[in-house]
Amino acid sequence: MLTRDDCARLDAQDELSALRDEFALPDGVIYLDGNSLGALPKGAVATLSKAVEQEWGQGLIRSWGEAEWFSLPERLGDRLGRLIGAAPGQVVVCDGTSINIYKALRAAMEMRPDRKVLVSELGSFPTDLYMLEGALIGADGYSTRLLGRDDDDIANLLDDQVAAVLLSNVDYRSGRLLDMERITRQAHEAGALVIWDLCHSAGVIPLELDAIGADFAVGCSYKYLNGGPGAPAYIYVAERHHDSARQPLSGWWGHAAPFAFESSFRPTAGIRRFLVGTQSILGLKGVEAAMDLFEGVDMQAIRRKSRNLCDSFIQLVEQHPDCRALRLASPREAEERGSQVAFDFAGGYAVVRAMIEQGVIGDFREPGIMRFGLAPYYLRFTDLFDAVEVMADCLRREVWMDPKYATRETVT
């Protein structure tokens, strides 16, 4: 049995406990939804207020140079790159994840013109599959193969017809972790390129894109990276592909001479060719504050705490007599799991809503997945203990019988 005293002891031993002070967290809330929207770094308040009042208000157009707005996408990309194992010059922060998926897919298709199959996963976060559909509009002769529908082993889906593989390394519902190194190697052996969607792993799992020989990667910065609501996404392109990779959203920010106003497109050298046009500076400033916060943070320590949090949470739920109806929907082994824990329960929707009402914010995915994203920067083990008490209370009260909690809302 894990007691509240045990949890307090774990908190006292927590090598990352000081990080919690860097966040502005609401009183009376236990936030188990860091995988939907990360919490507000205190530094973001000053960074954004400076960007608005000084850089925009006082600097006006001069801030493109003087406040270095123009280079922000790649400067932030380099800092974010450290968290995902990318050497400088291979990441830009820009646009949204879906748009960056499109760029990577179209670039990969053009780099493998004789191959007409794209591989992805049926259980992908849907926008990945939707963008795949979009990338294939007007592309004659292409087809897709989906892991989990056409086969359960990626190896069986790979052959000399496959141009590219698009996969999330962490399943957005179960938190199941894929072996990026193995899949990248298998895809390369088949002559295919790989596009990794890192939305649910960057910032909580040490990633090694360069070391595993990754081709492309994309992700958002508003989940575990704490960049702010809808913060700009990022795209990684391995340096060896920079000259051959071309993407069709060829706006002026990707031009070799953006201020020469030439009438034809000439892609710039390097990663900036994956930019399109002017970026939301306020959006990027949220990411900057997040990168300030990550400065010096040891990703291995983050991963250690993340695993301990998830293991403890599973134990706390499973040991509680009132939580017996819940079935673990995440891998039990920490090595196979990201920084989230899911439980399957028919009344899960109502339970999550009732928990939110009591200040424990989790998340729900149809049909019955109660999803808890455990962010190791600001969560304490005692928070988990208290959260499970609230969960148990909601289960005891059978909140799924109450229409107040059970009736679906369109937007949650």
Looking only at residues 102 through 131 of this chain, which bind its own copies when binding is defined by CB under 8 A? Answer: 102, 106, 110, 122, 125-127, 129-131
Residue 97 engages its own copies in binding (rule: CB under 8 A): yes
- 261 in contact with its own copies (CB under 8 A): yes
User: Look-up: residue for tokens 């996404």?
Assistant: 233
The two tokens of residue 349 are 């929707």
Contact with its own copies (CB under 8 A) among 3, 17, 65, 333:
65
61 binds its own copies (CB under 8 A): yes
382 a known binding residue? no
Other C-beta atoms lying within 10 Å of the C-beta of residue 359: 15
Q: Is 142 a catalytic residue?
A: no
- 258 marked as part of a ligand binding site: no
Q: Evaluate whether 241 touches 195 at the Cβ level (below 8 Å).
A: no
Query: Mind giving me the DSSP string for 10-32?
Result: HHHH-TTGGGGGGEE--TT-EE-
Of residues 181 through 240, those in contact with its own copies by CB under 8 A are 220, 222, 228-232
Torsion (CA) 380, 382, 384, 388 in degrees, nearest 10: -170
Structural tokens at position 198: 């890192």
**Which bin fits 39, alpha (ψ -120 to 50), beta or left (φ > 0)?**
beta
Q: Which is nearer to its own copies, 268 or 315 (CB)?
A: 268
363: contact with its own copies by CB under 8 A: yes
Instruction: Give backbone dihedrals phi and psi of 120, rounded to 5 degrees, phi first.
Output: -145, -160
Whole-number Å distance between alpha carbons of 270 and 51 = 28
Residue 337 appears among annotated catalytic residues: no
Could you say which residues in the range 269-288 bind its own copies, by CB under 8 A?
A: 276-286
Cβ atoms within 10 Å, residue 254: 24
Is 401 near its own copies (CB under 8 A)? no
Q: Counting contacts by CB under 8 A, is residue 144 touching its own copies?
A: no
**What interhelical angle do 4-13 and 381-396 show, nearest 10?**
150
Question: Is 223 an active-site residue?
Answer: yes
Known catalytic residue at 285:
no
Binding of residue 315 to its own copies (CB under 8 A): no
Q: Which of 252, 308, 322, 358 binds its own copies (CB under 8 A)?
A: 252
Q: Is 274 annotated as a binding residue?
A: no
- Say if residue 127 carries a ligand binding annotation: yes
Q: Give dist(CA 157, CA 142) in Å, integer.
A: 15
**Residues 7-36, interacting with its own copies (CB under 8 A):** 24-26, 29, 31, 33, 36
Q: Rounded distance, CA 127 to CA 132, Å? A: 8
278 known member of a binding site: yes
Q: How many CB atoms lie within 10 A of CB 251?
A: 12
Written as six digits, the tokens of 220 are 């958002």
Residue 341 in contact with residue 333, Cβ under 8 Å? no
Binder of its own copies out of 8, 249, 301, 328 (CB under 8 A)? 249
> Could you tell me the smallest distance in angstroms from the CB atom of residue 15 to its own copies?
25
DSSP state letter for 244: T
Reference 357, options 30, 67, 53; nearest CA is 30
Residue range at the interface with its own copies (CB under 8 A); choices 255-263, 295-303, 341-349, 381-389: 255-263
CB-wise, 98 or 382, nearer to its own copies?
98
62 in active site: no
395 binds its own copies (CB under 8 A): no
- Rank residues 283 and 299 by Cβ distance to its own copies and give the closer one: 283
Catalytic hit among 23, 31, 102, 125: 125
Q: How far is it, in rounded angstroms, from Cα 248 to Cα 261?
A: 19
Determine contact, residues 372/36, Cβ cutoff 8 Å. Answer: no
320 is in an annotated binding site: no
- Residue with smaller CB distance to its own copies, 79 or 173: 173
Does residue 248 belong to the site contacting its own copies (CB under 8 A)?
A: yes
Q: Does residue 256 belong to the site contacting its own copies (CB under 8 A)? A: no
Q: How many residues bind its own copies (CB under 8 A)?
A: 95
Q: Judged by CB, which is closer to its own copies: 65, or 346? A: 65
- From residue 179, how far is each of 108, 182, 280, 340 by CA, in Å? 21, 6, 34, 17
* 97 is known to lie in a ligand binding site: yes
Q: Which residues are annotated as a binding site for pyridoxal 5'-phosphate?
A: 97-98, 125-128, 197, 200, 222, 252, 278
Q: Which residues are annotated as a binding site?
A: 97-98, 125-128, 197, 200, 222, 252, 278
Active site residues: 125, 197, 222-223, 371
